[in-house]
Amino acid sequence: MSTRSAGALYTIGAYLLWGVFPLYFIVLAPTGPFEVVAWRLLLTLVFCILLLAVTRGWGRLRAIRRQPRLLALSALAGALIYINWQVFVIAAMSEQVVETSLGYFINPIFTVLLGVLVLHERIRLAQWIAIGIAAVAVAVIIVAYGSFPWIALSLTVSFGLYGLVKKKLGVAVDAVSGLTLESFWLIPIAAVILLVVGQGDGITMGTVSPLHTVLLSCAGIATAVPLLLFAAGTRRVDLSLVGMIQFITPILQFLLGWAVLGEPMPAERWIGFVLVWVAMAVFITDLVVQKSRGRRAEPARLV
C-alpha cells in the first residue's frame, strides 16, 4: 500500500470513529456527562503514558518540558479540548446529536476564517462565499427556529481554536506527547469533577454492571485511537484531501441524530442545514478545483 493510500485510510478511520462517537457516550448512561469526561481525561492520560513507555517517547516529552512556550500552548490546547469534549458529551447524552453535526459542518469554514483573522492568510472568493452562506445559515436557525445553537457554535469555536493552537505548536510536539500534556494539565479539573459528583449523585464507575465498567474504562482508548489515526493520516496526505474527508464525521452524526435517534427536524431547521450544506458544497468544490489546477500546473513547472 502506498504512503498516500495508507494516510487516506488512517484519516477516514479517524473520522468514521468520530462520526459514531455519540453512540458510545449514550450507552454509558446512567453515568452523567461530567463524570464521563472526568474519566475520559484521566484514562486518556493513562493510555498516553502507556504508549510513551512502549514507544520510548520520554525523550521527546522531556524536550518539550524545557520549552515554556510549548508548555503554555499545550495548556491552552488542553483547556480548549476540554470545552469541546464536555459540550460534545453533554449534547450526545441529551440527544442533541443533530446540533453537534451542525457544529462540525461549520468547523472547516470557521477554520478558514480564523486563518484570515489570526494568521492574516488570503483566501479565495469561493471561500468567502462559503463563509457568508454559513453565517446566513446560523442566522436562519437563530431567528426562524427560535433557538440559539450554542452547542454547535461552542463545538465550532473550541475545535477551531484548538486546531489553531496545534498549528502554532507545529512539528515541535508529536501527537502522543501533545495529548499527554493536554491531559496532564486537566487532571485538576477531572479531580474536582469527580469530587463534586461523589458528593452529589455518587460516582458510577464500578457500580452499574461489569459491562458498563469495561465500557467506561475504555474512554481513554476511545479518545486516543482516532486522534492517533488522524495524526498518522495527516502526515501522509494533502490537507486538501483531509478537508474533504472531514465531512464524514458531521454527515454520520446528522444521520445518527435524525434517522436513528429520531431528533426533531422542523422546516426552519432544515432550511438552516440546507444552507450549511450549500456552503459545504461551495467549500469542497473550491478545494477540488484548486487541487486540479495544482496537478495541471505541476508538469508545466517540470518542463
Report the C-alpha gap between 101 and 257 in whole angstroms. Answer: 9
Q: How far lies 176's CA from each of 162, 166, 179, 225, 248, in Å?
A: 16, 13, 5, 10, 24
- For position 302, what pLDDT does the model report? 46
The amino acid present at 194, given as its one-letter code, is: L
pLDDT per residue as tens digits for the range 189-218 = 999 999 999 998 899 999 999 999 999 999
CB 147, CB 26: distance < 8 Å: no
- For position 303, what pLDDT does the model report? 45
SS3 string, 199-238, reads: HCCCCCCCCCCHHHHHHHHCHHHHHHHHHHHHHHHHCCCC
- For position 295, what pLDDT does the model report? 63
Task: Indicate if the pLDDT at residue 293 is higher than 80.
Answer: no
Task: Indicate if the pLDDT at residue 188 is higher than 80.
Answer: yes
Task: Indicate if the pLDDT at residue 9 is higher than 60.
Answer: yes
- For position 241, what pLDDT does the model report? 73
Strands (DSSP E) found in 12-107: none
265: left (phi over 0), alpha (psi -120 to 50) or beta: beta
- The b/e string for 103-126 (b: 16+ C-beta within 10 A; e otherwise) is bbbbbbbbbbbbbeeeeeeeeeee
Cell digits for 85?
469534549
Q: How far lies 98's CA from each of 16, 115, 272, 290, in Å?
A: 16, 27, 12, 31
Task: Indicate if the pLDDT at residue 292 is higher than 60.
Answer: yes
pTM: 0.87
- Indicate the average pLDDT of the chain: 87
Mean pLDDT value across residues 3-18? 87
Report the C-alpha gap between 84 and 160 in whole angstroms. Answer: 10
Task: Indicate if the pLDDT at residue 92 is higher than 90.
Answer: yes
Listed in sequence order, the residues at least 6 apart from 92 whose beta carbon sits closer than 8 Å to its beta carbon are 21, 22, 25, 26, 33, 100
Domain residues of the chain, as ranges?
3-302
